[in-house]
C-alpha cells in the first residue's frame, strides 16, 4: 500500500463528516470516490492528502504516519509526494501555463533547466504546448485543466488527488482531461484518488469506493 488510512473520523461542529472510514491505495492504483452530496468525499480526500487532520484514525504514506506531523512538515510532504487537480483549475492566474507547470519543481528547488524540460514535455503530451506562454485566463477551461494535470504530474508524485476534475467541463473536454490524467498517471506510476459524482468518470478508475454518511458503504 502506498497510502493507508484507518478508522478516520472528523466532525465540523455538530456535523459528522467521516466516521470509521478505512481506505487503502496501492502504488499506481486509480481509485474513484463516489457518494451522495455531503457524504464526506471531499473531506476524505483532504484527510488522505494531509490537508485536514482527522480527530481519530491514522494516515500512512508508505511506512510513514503523516496525520500527526506538524503543519509545516505536512505541507512539505504534500509538495513533494502529492499532486492536486481541483474542479476549477486553481492555476496561478498571473503565471503562464508553463510557469504554473514548473512551479512545483521550482518550489522543490529543482534546477531551472530540468523544470523547463520536464514541463515542456508534459505540456506537449497534453497537447497544450502551443499555449504554454498564455495565462490561465487566456485559454479554455479544458485547456487550463490539462495544464493543471501537467502541474499535478510534473514532480512525479506518488499520489495525485483530484476533486471533480472535470466538474466544470462538457463531456468531450472532460474525456480529454481524464484520458490524459489517467493515461499519464499509469505511465508514470502515480496513484490517483479521484472524487466524482459521475459514473462515466469513475469508469476510468480501477475501482470505486462509495461513501454514505461519512462511512465507506461499498
Ligand X SMILES: Nc1ncnc2c1ncn2[C@@H]1O[C@H](COP(=O)(O)OP(=O)(O)OP(=O)(O)O)[C@@H](O)[C@H]1O
The interface with Mg ion within residues 35-94 (CB under 5 A) comprises 42
> Is residue 190 at the binding interface for ligand X, with CB under 6 A as the rule?
no
In whole angstroms, what is the distance from residue 85 CA to residue 153 CA? 10
Polymer length in residues for the chain: 218
> Is residue 28 at the binding interface for another protein, with CB under 8 A as the rule?
no
Judged by CB, which is closer to another protein: 36, or 189?
36
Please choose, from the candidates 109, 17, 94, 4, the residue with its C-alpha nearest in 3D space to the C-alpha of residue 48: 4
Taking the CB of residue 71, how many other CB atoms lie within 10 A of it? 9
Judged by CB, which is closer to ligand X: 120, or 197?
197
The stretches of 28-129 forming alpha helices (DSSP H) are 41-48, 71-81, 97-107, 112-125
The entry of ligand X, another protein, Mg ion, none that residue 15 binds, CB within 5 to 8 Å by partner kind = ligand X
> Is residue 196 at the binding interface for ligand X, with CB under 6 A as the rule?
no
Query: Is the Cβ–Cβ distance between 31 and 5 less than 8 Å?
Result: no
Cα 137 to chain centroid distance, Å, stands at: 22
Query: Is the Cβ–Cβ distance between 79 and 68 less than 8 Å?
Result: no
Which residue in the set 27, 36, 38, 189 belongs to the binding site for another protein (CB under 8 A)? 36
> Is residue 165 at the binding interface for ligand X, with CB under 6 A as the rule?
no
Which residue in the set 17, 132, 148, 150 belongs to the binding site for ligand X (CB under 6 A)? 17
- Whole-number minimum distance, CB 38 to ligand X, in Å? 4
Binding site for ligand X (CB under 6 A): 12, 15, 17, 35, 37-43, 197
Binding site for another protein (CB under 8 A): 36, 179, 198-200, 202-206, 208, 210, 212, 217-218
Amino acid at each position: 500500500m502506498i497510502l493507508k488510512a484507518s478508522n478516520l473520523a472528523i466532525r465540523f461542529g455538530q456535523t459528522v463528516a467521516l466516521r470509521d472510514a478505512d481506505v487503502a491505495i496501492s502504488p499506481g492504483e486509480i481509485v474513484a470516490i463516489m457518494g451522495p452530496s455531503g457524504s464526506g468525499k471531499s473531506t476524505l480526500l483532504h484527510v488522505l492528502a494531509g490537508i485536514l487532520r482527522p480527530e481519530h484514525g491514522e494516515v500512512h504514506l508508505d511506512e510513514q504516519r503523516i496525520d500527526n506531523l506538524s503543519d509545516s512538515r505536512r505541507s512539505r510532504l504534500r509538495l513533494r509526494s502529492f499532486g492536486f487537480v481541483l474542479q476549477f483549475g486553481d492555476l496561478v492566474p498571473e503565471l503562464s501555463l508553463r510557469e504554473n507547470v514548473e512551479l512545483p519543481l521550482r518550489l522543490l528547488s529543482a534546477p531551472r533547466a530540468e523544470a523547463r524540460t520536464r514541463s515542456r514535455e508534459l505540456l506537449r503530451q497534453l497537447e497544450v504546448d502551443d499555449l504554454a506562454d498564455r495565462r490561465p485566463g487566456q485559454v479554455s477551461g479544458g485547456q487550463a485543466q490539462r495544464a493543471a494535470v501537467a502541474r499535478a504530474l510534473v514532480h512525479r508524485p506518488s499520489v495525485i488527488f483530484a476533486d471533480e476534475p472535470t466538474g466544470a467541463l462538457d463531456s468531450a473536454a472532460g474525456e480529454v482531461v481524464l484520458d490524459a490524467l489517467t493515461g499519464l498517471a499509469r505511465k508514470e506510476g502515480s496513484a490517483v484518488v479521484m472524487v466524482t459524482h459521475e459514473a462515466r468518470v469513475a469508469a476510468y478508475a480501477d475501482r470505486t469506493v462509495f461513501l454514505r454518511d461519512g462511512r465507506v458503504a461499498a
